[in-house]
Amino acid sequence: MTLPKISFEHASQALLDAAVDPARWPTAMDLLAQYSGSSGTVLLPVKGRGPGCPHSASLAEGMEVYFRDGWDLRDERIRGLPLVRSRGIFVDQDFASPHEMATSDYYRGFLAKFDANWSAVVGFADPDNEWCLVFERGDRQGFFDEREQADLVRFSGRLSEAAALSRSLADAHAAGAMNAYQSIGCASFLIDGLGQVFRYNQDAERLLGNGLELSHGRLRASHPPSHSALGELMASRIGSRSGDRHSDRIAVIHRAAKRPLIVRAIGLSGLAASVFSSASAILLVSDMEARSRPTPLEELTTAFALTTTEARLVSMLERELPLSKVAARMNIAFETARTHLKRILAKTQTTRQQDLLMLLHRLRP
């Protein structure tokens, strides 16, 4: 069945739509293939290529084999990159002879198998990397002629616009996540696809020199054996997304004469997971030596109908102070403090101080 011809404007708009909603990249790739009469299209970064690059559904099996069997490391089309930098586009016949294309294991043994042995590669750049939009055709469709090349190179400008928009939105969402973790007192580091830290919040900064070290963008554990665990954790998360099978992994960072740090890593999703964003994962660090921030007094009085005195007493218990010290700080007798605590337990429907503290912990975001 012949698909209806779509306009350049329609195909270009699909790129901007995908920049705003990353879930729409497969649709955009399919529309670009339909526009160009290709068997499929794929977006590939020049550096740091890996699984997860947006591509047409028709290329799914080929892309899996491309990375699984190491064809990405011996991609013969890399010879065309100087051309794409000088004139925005290249095709296979610009650098490969007919004999090469007829006998090469890359062209005949791999690409032809997936109907992708004739390509047109359009280049564009974002601030951190060069990218290529690859239009793939098989023997049935044939090579891209000069007229088609002149038409396809127009996508370079639209792709740069989409990359800039996508990166801007992703960075804003990643920054919002960091601010959210800061608001609940959680130390967090934002790492890129190479495992380098490029943003961290104030709580994270307080841990530098206190179990963790940051040198030339690389996060390290001060305790050498712990550093290996931290590296393995980051490697498991780079390029992954939230909710995958690695989500329950942790790294324990041991410290001299102190309780350890517990590091968790979460992959990004939604806009923060843009293919053009530097952000790859967020490291969340729990300091077992640090005391939790007490629940605000107004929350205690509102949620449990506590008096101001009762709320102050609860707040001090949250700081891990024994009831005797709480009584001394409030300048009341120990028995008076016990009476207040009994009333608090009744109002919060708990029976022990430990149960009360666990209930208060569940009040936090």
pLDDT in tens, 53-109: 899 999 999 999 999 999 999 999 999 999 988 999 999 999 999 999 999 999 999
Work out the percent of the chain whose per-residue pLDDT is above 70.
92
> What's residue 47's pLDDT?
76
Q: CA-to-CA distance for 121 and 190, rounded, in angstroms? A: 32
Task: Say whether pLDDT at 245 is over 50.
Answer: no
Select the highest-mean-pLDDT range: 104-118, 241-255, 276-290: 104-118
Average pLDDT over residues 134-148: 94
pLDDT greater at residue 3 or residue 60: 60
> What's residue 10's pLDDT?
95
> What's residue 292's pLDDT?
67
Contact 31, 177 (CB under 8 A): no
Question: Which of 205, 207, 279 lies closest to 242, judged by CA?
Answer: 279
Residue that has been written with the tokens 């149960």 in this structure: 355
Structure tokens at 24: 């729409």
Please give the C-alpha separations between residue 76 and each of 66, 94, 119, in angstroms, as whole numbers. Answer: 12, 12, 12
> What's residue 275's pLDDT?
78
Cα of 56 vs its chain's centroid, Å: 22
pLDDT band at 125 (very low <50, low <70, confident <90, very high): confident
Structure tokens at 196: 């380098």
HEC readout, the chain: CCCCCCCHHHHHHHHHHHHHCHHHHHHHHHHHHHHHCCCEEEEEECCCCCCCCCECHHHHHHHHHHHHCCHHHHCHHHHHHHHHHHHCEEEHHHCCCHHHHHHCHHHHHHHHHHCCCEEEEEEEEECCEEEEEEEEECCCCCCCCHHHHHHHCCHHHHHHHHHHHHHHHHHHHHHHHHHHHHHCCCEEEEEECCCCEEEECHHHHCCECCCEEEECCEEEECCHHHHHHHHHHHHHHCCCCCCCCCCCCEEEEEECCEEEEEEEEEECCHHHHCCCCCEEEEEEEEECCCCCCCCCHHHHHHHHCCCHHHHHHHHHHHCCCCHHHHHHHHCCCHHHHHHHHHHHHHHCCCCCHHHHHHHHHCCCC
Q: What predicted TM-score, i.e. pTM, was given to this entire model?
A: 0.69
Task: Say whether pLDDT at 148 is over 90.
Answer: yes
Q: How far apart are the first and last CA of the chain?
A: 53
Task: Say whether pLDDT at 177 is over 50.
Answer: yes
Task: Say whether pLDDT at 243 is over 50.
Answer: no
Cα of 316 vs its chain's centroid, Å: 38
Average pLDDT over residues 298-321: 92
Task: Say whether pLDDT at 194 is over 90.
Answer: no
Average pLDDT over residues 204-215: 93
pLDDT greater at residue 312 or residue 52: 312
Question: Which of 217, 233, 321, 239 lies closest to 285, judged by CA?
Answer: 233
Beta-bridged to residue 90, according to DSSP, are: 121
> What's residue 51's pLDDT?
61
Question: Quick one: CA dihedral 135, 139, 145, 147, positive or negative?
Answer: negative
> What's residue 241's pLDDT?
47
Instruction: Starting at the earlier edge strand, list the strands of the sheet with 118-126.
Output: 40-45, 129-137, 118-126, 89-91
pLDDT band at 242 (very low <50, low <70, confident <90, very high): very low
Residue that has been written with the tokens 């390290």 in this structure: 220
> 141-150, 178-187, 209-218, 333-342: which has the minimum mean pLDDT?
178-187
> What's residue 22's pLDDT?
86
Helix (H) / strand (E) element for 66: namely: helix 60-68
> What's residue 158's pLDDT?
93
3-state secondary structure of 249: coil
